Structure 1
Amino acid sequence: FPGKRVIDAMVDLPFALPTAVAGIALATLYAPNGWIGQLLEPLGIKIAFTPAGIVIALIFVGLPFVVRTVQPIMEEIDKEVEEAAATLGASRFQTISRVLLPGLLPAGLTGFALAFARGVGEYGSVIFIAGNLPYVSEIAPLLIVIRLEEFNYPAATAIAAVMLVISFAMLLVINSIQAWSRRRYVYVA
């Protein structure tokens, strides 16, 4: 379709854009006087400086991981598979849920795990749009910086260790999903 290359390049934008620039741009867009924020404010929806802003920033940074892991699998799916399902009487929903999604599930889970692992330590894009309110919209990397500024190295190390364990667990999840996918593919083929 026209514009496919532009959309493809936009997916990679978070990879190329410095995270601080992304955070400033998102905060500017979603602030109450921003392009998007001014449309949402009359509806009573506040994004910037709330936990919702953190979610949007993490989606912005993590989406390319999901897209880039799912896209090659989608490109490999033959059109004949969908046509065969339709010929056998499957509805569009059945074709998607029983034919296409099972093959995309491992790649989607891997992309989500990669995005989550990236989001655990994300600082630049989140710091500007988060409200940094204690127990509401604080982020772990900011807590580390605060503890370091207080010269509380054990607390900073403890927070960093927890983040490291979470990231390592996500790597284990990714490897498990890939191993499961390989075993599943060998048995099916």
Structure 2
Amino acid sequence: PVLEDLDADVEEAAATLGATPWQTFTRVLLPAIYPALLSGFTLAFARALGEYGSVVFISGNMPLRTEIVPLLIVTKLEQYDYAGATAIAVVMLVTSFLLLLVVNLLQRWSHRRFEVRPGA
């Protein structure tokens, strides 16, 4: 929403005054989106901490029954098994990215398939 509210004329003015794309980003766009970016990061971090705390609190941590990945990573870190904790985290990260890719592809496919065409 912040970028949508920003006039394109501001970017064009920077370009006509000889600003490079990097200068336009750092001197025009970044100051405009910085407050929204900071508040978004803060809210996401707070939610992540709350989710982690609630999930760890609720889980029973019974081996092979109610173990959860965040608690498993913390356990590995407490045992100084940094390689094991990193491996679990990387697997979860790759899985998350793959799921996001699948969701994005499904949205694109459904948008194309069910798009309302004029005159139809």
The alignment status of 1:140 with 2:79, answered yes or no, reads no
- CA displacement at 1:165 relative to structure 2: 1.1
Contact kept? 1:19, 1:125, Cα under 8 Å: no
The alignment status of 1:163 with 2:82, answered yes or no, reads no
Contact kept? 1:132, 1:138, Cα under 8 Å: yes
> TM-score scaled to structure 1, two decimals?
0.35
- CA displacement at 1:18 relative to structure 2: 5.1
Q: Which of 1 and 2 has higher RCO (CA within 8 Å, sep 6+)? A: 1
Give the gaps of 5 or more residues in structure 1.
1-14, 22-121
Aligned-partner Cα distance in 1 for 2:47–2:105: 31
Give the gaps of 5 or more residues in structure 2.
1-43
Query: Residues 94-113 of structure 1: matches in 2 within 5 Å?
Result: none
Give the secondary-structure state (helix, strand or coil) at the position aligned to 2:83: helix
Aligned-partner Cα distance in 2 for 1:166–1:142: 18
- Which one has a bigger Cα radius of gyration? 2
Letter in 2 for 1:181: S
Contact kept? 1:144, 1:156, Cα under 8 Å: yes
1:174: which partner in 2? 103
CA RMSD of aligned residues (A): 2.4
Residues paired across the two proteins, number: 74
Question: Taking every aligned residue pair, what percent have the same amino acid on both sides?
Answer: 55
| Deviation sequence 1:33-88 (CA, Å, 0-9, x none) | xxxxxxxxxxxxxxxxxxxxxxxxxxxxxxxxxxxxxxxxxxxxxxxxxxxxxxxx
Give the secondary-structure state (helix, strand or coil) at the position aligned to 2:109: helix
Change (3 A) 1:131 1:166: same
1:30: which partner in 2? none
Query: Residues 56-135 of structure 1: matches in 2 within 5 Å?
Result: 123-135=52-64
Give the secondary-structure state (helix, strand or coil) at the position aligned to 1:123: helix
Aligned-partner Cα distance in 1 for 2:116–2:75: 51
